[in-house]
Amino acid sequence: MPITRGFRRRRAEPPEGAALPPGQYLTDGFPVLSAGPTPSVPLDRWRLGVSGAVDGERGWSWDEFRALPSESITVDIHCVTSWSKLGTGWQGVSVDALLDGVEPLGAYVMAHSYGGYTTNLPIEDLTDGKAWVAFAYDGAPLEPEHGGPARLLVPHLYLWKSAKWVRELVFMDADEPGFWESLGYHDRGDPWREQRYQGD
């Protein structure tokens, strides 16, 4: 196969001492990746729910959700298409706060989004300060193209697990593959162990 003279991957230089997961490259933009049209959800009809294999289903309207305690976080994000973005600022409600008083009866969660997207995760990857439902990015309300009004944010896993336009966390007894996982992407997706595909 011919090498194209002088062609190279486009990437930004990582800051001194910054570590990227294997196979990742820094980007200075914020690429918009999508599997479908941006859903348009009026806030007065938006709802977030927790259901399935749990003792105590619950749901929140937008106002109820925004009344929950939220926090500002700065995290690195890693996309399986190999771009990474360091030091991104978000504001969101911790998933621990959403699950406060809820007893999970299953070990897996399927996140469902407006528009039909799904992604599955083990429950440990959503709890103990590892995940949020984020409603602001970079100091402003989260734009629809980046998942607004609210998206799941699970920065320690590849970004396809951070379901945009999240509307429901459904707990499951057994793991089931979501949208990309059913094509062969990994059920967990830890970028530091380069878990891109099933079997990695």
Partner 1 sequence: MHEDARLDGNAAAGLLSELFTPEATTAVARCAGCGRTGAVGAAEVYADGPGMVLRCPGCEAVLMRFARIRGRLVADLRGVGTLTF
Partner 2 sequence: MSSAIRATDRIVAWRTATIREVVRETPSATTLVLDVDGWPGHRAGQHVDLRLTAEDGYQATRSYSISSAPEDDAVAVTVERLDDGEVSPYLVDEAQPRDELELRGPVGGWFVWTADQGGPLFLVAGGSGLAPLMSMLRHRARTGSDAEALLLLSARREQDVLFAGELPALGAAVTITYTREAPAGWAGYARRVDRDMLAEAGFERERRPRIFVCGPTGFVEGVARELVALGHDASRIRTERFGATGG
Q: Closest approach of Cβ 8 to partner 2, in Å?
A: 5
Q: Closest approach of Cβ 83 to partner 2, in Å?
A: 11
Q: Does 34 bind partner 1 (CB under 8 A)?
A: yes
Q: Which residues pair with 46 in a beta bridge?
A: none
Print the SS3 string covering the chain. Answer: CCCCCCCCCCCECCCCCCCCCCCCEECCCCCCCCCCCCCCCCCCCCEEEEEECEECCEEEEHHHHHHCCCEEEEEEEECCCCEEEEEEEEEEEEHHHHCCCCEECCCEEEEEECCCCEEEEEHHHCCCCCCEEEEEECCEECCHHHCCCCEEECCCCCHHHCCCCEEEEEEECCCCCCCCHHHCECCCCCHHHCCCECCC
Listed ranges 7-15, 57-65, 102-110, 179-187: which one lies at the site for partner 1 (CB under 8 A): 179-187
Structure tokens at 120: 């599955």
Q: Closest approach of Cβ 184 to partner 1, in Å?
A: 4
Select the binding partner of residue 80 from partner 1, partner 2, none (C-beta < 5 to 8 A, by kind). Answer: partner 1
In the list 72, 128, 182, 193, the residue contacting partner 1 (rule: CB under 8 A) is: 182
Residues 113-152 touching partner 1, rule: CB under 8 A, are: 116, 144-145
CA 31/CA 164 separation, integer angstroms? 14
Select the binding partner of residue 10 from partner 1, partner 2, none (C-beta < 5 to 8 A, by kind). Answer: partner 2
Q: Does 40 bind partner 2 (CB under 8 A)?
A: no
Select the binding partner of residue 17 from partner 1, partner 2, none (C-beta < 5 to 8 A, by kind). Answer: none
Q: Does 9 bind partner 2 (CB under 8 A)?
A: yes
When the beta carbons of 28 and 173 are compared against partner 2, the nearer one is 28
State the number of binding residues for partner 1 (CB under 8 A): 23
Q: Which residues contact 148 (CB under 8 A, 6 or more apart)?
A: 135, 141, 142, 165
* Residues belonging to the chain: 200
Select the binding partner of residue 185 from partner 2, partner 1, none (C-beta < 5 to 8 A, by kind). Answer: partner 1
Q: List residues binding partner 1 (CB under 8 A).
A: 31-38, 40, 80-81, 116, 144-145, 160, 179-180, 182-185, 197-198
Q: List residues binding partner 2 (CB under 8 A).
A: 1-10, 29, 32
